[in-house]
Amino acid sequence: MKSNNINKRWFILVIGVITMLFAGIIYAWSILKVPFKDEVGFSTGNLAFSYTLTMCFFCIGGFLSGQLVRRIGTRITILLAGILAGSGIALAGIIAPIATVWLFFSYSFLAGLGIGMAYIAIISTVNSYFPDRKGLSSGILMMGFGASTLILGKVAVRMFASPLGWKTTYIVIGAVIGIVLIVSAIFITPPSPDMVFPTAKRKASVREEVFEERDYTPSEMIRRFTFWRAFLALVCFTAVGSSVISFANDLALSVGAEANLATTLVGVLAVCNGLGRILTGVVFDTLGRRFTMIGATVLTTIAASATLVSVVISSLPLCVVGLCLTGLSYGTSPTVSSAFTLAFYGKKHFASNLSISNFNLMAASFIATACTALQTSSGGYVVPFALLLILAVISILLNLSIRKP
């Protein structure tokens, strides 16, 4: 029985990664927005706001998913998510060119809501199969989500330039994502109560955090001061990656990259994002929560510093380094959020608790919009990155103060 459980959980993880790969299309916005900017003529500000709205509804969708999983189950939740996400992206190619309000409705509201619902349902369900490797499981799932920009983003660029055109491309991508999510609902189901999995093994070299382990309800969790310190730390260092993702293509162009190289660098950012997610999961499981969270914020500070210097001296090589480090640091955020919530607040209410923790993405997306506004008003990227560097340092200080739930 135990052997069968082990085999099943890896199968479930593979299905989860494939599904997350398609759901992660929202992170390819710096590529997907190009037709709306170049051919439709939407302003940079409106496109940045669209990304912010997408992340807001992504978080709201995650919160709804936490409630729906408990009430109607994982399968129906993912099914509904597939319908919303697929139809939203497809509609973006049909009605969004009419006016920005339709872009906000189709891509930001429908797709953002649907992908947020799928995100929480998949992570909470798949992680329940890995009580012994929660960091690794979260990291692998997040890697799939982050790698979408490189894979689907590249596919989208080629389809934009093909006879299909960008409008039909949106319709095709929406249909495929909807189908993938709907089919995955057949396989991604919670483990039965009689399933037995390995227990977590701690290395003697890892310093244990001593605190009472128990399952916190969402209301109990949000009354803990530690939760809000962690939440604010996540907002601060997630804002760095969120901001860079929203204008990565333009950032690369500003320091002298050619158009093709700029597009490639967006993909490189996505690869590093994916690597950061899985590496963070491994580090979390082997070196512990405290080392992982502090290390993530230090890495974010280095990334912001390198990118700031690159725009000051207009250095393309240093910008490439900054983008790679930013990708790695941003990849730590969702894995840390997931693994931290599970480790500190238990698995019984994990779906709901994680959906609340993920609201850090909403706050970070507003900072990303503010950075775009600062870039427009100042005429460069120095002021935005100075702000992001300050936030990264604040996140280090907040993480140093986190000890117990």
Residues with Cβ within 8 Å of residue 30, at least 6 apart in sequence: 245, 246, 247, 248, 249, 250, 266
Rounded CA separation 300/333 (Å): 10
User: What number of other Cβ atoms are within 10 A of residue 355's Cβ?
Assistant: 28
pLDDT at 199: 67
**Do 281 and 137 touch, CB atoms closer than 8 A?**
yes
**Do 24 and 181 touch, CB atoms closer than 8 A?**
no
- Alpha helical stretches, state H, 128-224: 134-161, 165-187, 218-221
pLDDT at 14: 92
Q: Tell which residue, 284, 292, 315, has the closest CA to residue 237.
A: 292
The listed CATH number (3.90.1150.10, 1.10.1740.10, 1.20.1250.20, 1.10.3470.10) that belongs to domain 2-191+215-400: 1.20.1250.20
pLDDT at 208: 55
**Do 130 and 190 touch, CB atoms closer than 8 A?**
no
Tens place of pLDDT per residue across the chain (405 aa): 455 556 788 899 999 999 999 998 887 887 888 889 888 888 888 888 888 899 889 989 988 998 898 889 999 999 999 999 999 999 998 998 888 899 999 999 999 999 999 998 998 899 888 877 776 787 788 778 877 877 888 888 889 989 999 999 999 999 999 999 999 999 998 888 777 776 666 555 455 566 667 889 999 999 999 999 999 999 998 999 888 877 887 888 888 888 778 877 877 887 787 788 778 877 887 888 788 889 999 999 999 999 999 999 999 999 999 999 998 898 888 878 877 888 888 878 887 888 888 888 888 888 988 888 898 888 889 999 999 999 999 999 998 888 777
